[in-house]
Amino acid sequence: MRKKIVAGNWKMNKVFQDAEELLYDLSEQIEDGQKSSKVEVIVCPPCLYMEMALDLSRNEEDERLFGVGAQDVSEHAQGAYTGEISADMLSSMGVEYCIVGHSERRKYFGETDEQVARKVERLLEEDVTPIVCVGESLEDREAGRHFDLIRSQVEKGLFGFKQLDFVKIIIAYEPIWAIGTGKTATPEQAQEVHAFIRKVVEEKYGKEVARNLSILYGGSCNAKNAAELFAQDDVDGGLIGGASLKAEDFVTIINSFK
């Protein structure tokens, strides 16, 4: 049975004191709320705060409250790449997850599917789980190109891996036109694309792998619409942006699974 997952991508938000307060609030509310053991919660703060997040990811009884992820990783294993963070650095800290190929990385930093594939490879080598983002612009959707584009992103970014490696990957569908805009794909639109991604994966890796693949929705998912989105058959959770910056909203989303 595939995992239900809610991952919070803080992006470039929160100064230190605010980040500390949010992590404390989140830890307390997750513990008090007794979240379902079936839901994997992931917090992806800016890299400066990952050690603090790791410290607060367990309660006083050393019970795990949430996993910690990075927002990006270098495509290089090590070397003279000023400002970059390598997969083995993440692994050595105990970071379990890493977002790869987010639309903002693709748009603002020119990240390609080939770079995404190299980053995924680095993460898998260090046993860090990649959360690989795919999705279309409004222009692509309106032109009816979104299925072709998403297929291309999945195939170029992920289909170079053997089945034993692919099963360690999480995919996040993020319609670019819905990120930070307040617009959200309808539950039916999200379900349609998630089912399509699962079908594309099935064509390459077979039914069992596709059936067990966790596919998250990202794109203005919030405390009000999460339950309806998560009720769709092929939506296994969310990659949450702005709503992950408020502990109460994020915990509401975590508890939105029926």
Contact between 72 and 115 (Cβ < 8 Å): no
| pLDDT confidence of residue 165 | 96
d(CA 78, CA 76) in angstroms, rounded, equals 6
Please enumerate in sequence order all residues whose Cβ is within 8 A of that of 160, keeping only pairs 6 or more positions apart, or say none: 117
Known catalytic residues are: 102, 174
State the pLDDT at residue 22: 98
The 3-state DSSP class for residue 244 equals: helix
Give the pLDDT confidence score for residue 69 in this predicted structure: 98
- Residue 6: CB atoms within 10 A of its CB come to 28
CA distances to 61, 91, 107, 157, 196 from 86, in Å: 31, 9, 22, 19, 32
Point out which residues pair with 47 in neighbouring strands. none
pLDDT, residue 36, reads 63
pLDDT for 34: 60
Q: How far apart (Å, rounded) are the C-alpha atoms in residues 107 and 133?
A: 13
CA 191 to chain centre: 17
Q: What tokens does 40 get?
A: 């994997």
Residues of the chain with pLDDT under 50: none
Phi and psi at 34, nearest 5°, equal 50, 60
Name the phi and psi angles at 116, rounded to 5.
Answer: -55, -45
Separation of alpha carbons 226 and 229, rounded Å = 5
Q: What is the pLDDT of residue 35?
A: 61
Instruction: Report pLDDT for 208.
Output: 97
